[in-house]
Amino acid sequence: MLESNPPLLRHYEALLRHPAEVPVLECDERQISGAFMEECGQLPLIDLNGLKYHDANKERLACSARICRASSEWGFFQVINHGISSELLLKMKREQVKLFQAPFEIKVSSGLLNNSYTWGTTTATSPNQFSWSEAFHIPLTDIREEITYHGEYFSSLREVMKEFAAAMSKLARLLAEILSENLGSQKGGIEDVCDESACFLRLNRYPACQISPEVFGLVPHTDSDFLTILCQDQVGGLQLKKGSKWVAVKPIQDALLVNIGDLFQAWSNDVYKSVEHKVMVNRKTERYSIAYFLCPSYDSLIASFKEPSIYRKFTFGEYRKRVQEDVKKSGYKVGLQRFLL
């Protein structure tokens, strides 16, 4: 049978033998991951049932307040009763597994899903920038349109992914609306900024890794969007930064994980926090996750909702360009700090 795994070990070992001269981070993330790790006891788990009521309803207001508090104190929270059925989550997971089981050659070079496949980290110049994972990074517009599904074999993937993306979009917009209204924004304000054509889904797979915890599944980063919704399996491995500590997120069956991205942090003038997170890989078990990224159009202006503003105004296009330039130059994303006033 043809191998479906990307040649991650070969690539990682080559980086170990020939690390390029790169700027050294303040501390080695791999070392601190063990020393300051805590099991996650209190990451907020929010029941979204309250949101089915109307505007001034007490339960709705309490639920909205929980969402805003978690976004400010943690930058992360899990949600249940989010409106996405367990059947749909299961169907999507099955399609995702089937997709990643395709031979590596097909994934990497057949034009599958408009060449949206990536593996490892092409920009890594040193071992601690390398991610032990493979992913399909798919713009929502591509899902709807006729993209290459490699013949009939993946035709059911398209239908399921369409349904899944629509459900995630609806939830992401609802949460973004609540968060922006809490800052005093007009109803529908965020709707105008967020643009379906800039949003995307990222299907992640983290193969089992015998050299774990030598290597990250996904290197520490913040997300460059408004907010992200993550659907993960039961394997675990995601950790988030709380103060100076890394906290492990314990997966909950059928719950979704929400996190604030850089753009909401800038827009909210640091009221909501875009928090660093990373994925550790498992020695024996592969792990799957899907992230939905809520983004504005590239020419949208991101400005603080109040003065004095911590960050200068920027467009999303400008932000992305800056992040990409930094990563290319140094291997690291600098992010919002570049835009501090």
Q: Which residues of the shown chain bind Fe ion in the complex (CB under 5 A)?
A: 223
Element containing residue 10 per DSSP (H, E): helix 8-17
Q: Please tell me whether residue 280 binds ligand AKG under the rule CB under 6 A.
A: no
3-state secondary structure of 287: strand
Comparing CB distances to ligand AKG, the nearer of 259 and 304 is: 259
**Residue 230, contacted partner among Fe ion, ligand AKG, none, CB below 5-8 A by kind:** ligand AKG
Q: Please tell me whether residue 223 binds ligand AKG under the rule CB under 6 A.
A: yes
Nearest distance in Å: CB 39, ligand AKG: 16
Comparing CB distances to ligand AKG, the nearer of 190 and 257 is: 257
Helix, strand and coil in the chain, % to nearest 5: 40, 20, 40
**Residue 241, contacted partner among Fe ion, ligand AKG, none, CB below 5-8 A by kind:** none
**Amino acid, single-letter form, for residue 322:** R
Nearest distance in Å: CB 333, ligand AKG: 11
Considering only CA atoms, which of 219, 326, 317 is closest in space to residue 277? 219
By CB under 6 A, which span of 89-97, 109-117, 230-238, 306-314 interacts with ligand AKG? 230-238
Comparing CB distances to Fe ion, the nearer of 193 and 291 is: 291
Comparing CB distances to ligand AKG, the nearer of 51 and 279 is: 279
Q: Please tell me whether residue 279 binds ligand AKG under the rule CB under 6 A.
A: yes
- How many whole angstroms separate alpha carbon 217 and alpha carbon 230? 15
Element containing residue 227 per DSSP (H, E): strand 227-232
Comparing CB distances to Fe ion, the nearer of 195 and 223 is: 223
* 3-class DSSP string for 143-189: HHCCCCCCHHHHHHHHHHHHHHHHHHHHHHHHHHHHHHHHCCCCCCH
The correct pick among 161, 172, 281, 291 for binding ligand AKG (CB under 6 A) is: 291
Q: Are 216 and 279 within 8 A, CB to CB?
A: yes
Residue 308, preceding bond cis, omega within 30 degrees?
yes
Q: Please tell me whether residue 230 binds ligand AKG under the rule CB under 6 A.
A: yes
Comparing CB distances to ligand AKG, the nearer of 37 and 310 is: 37
Contacts with ligand AKG by CB under 6 A: the residue count is: 11
Q: Which 119-178 positions form the footprint of ligand AKG (CB under 6 A)?
A: none
Tokens 């906290």 locate to 247
Considering only CA atoms, which of 244, 19, 24, 207 is closest in space to residue 101? 207
Q: Which 175-194 positions form the footprint of ligand AKG (CB under 6 A)?
A: none
Residue whose C-beta lies closest to ligand AKG: 289
* Crossing angle of the two packed helices 58-73 and 155-182, in degrees rounded to 10: 90
Q: Please tell me whether residue 238 binds ligand AKG under the rule CB under 6 A.
A: yes
Nearest distance in Å: CB 143, ligand AKG: 17
Q: Are 338 and 330 within 8 A, CB to CB?
A: no
The residues that touch ligand AKG, with contacts defined as CB under 6 A, are 202, 204, 218, 223, 230, 232, 238, 277, 279, 289, 291
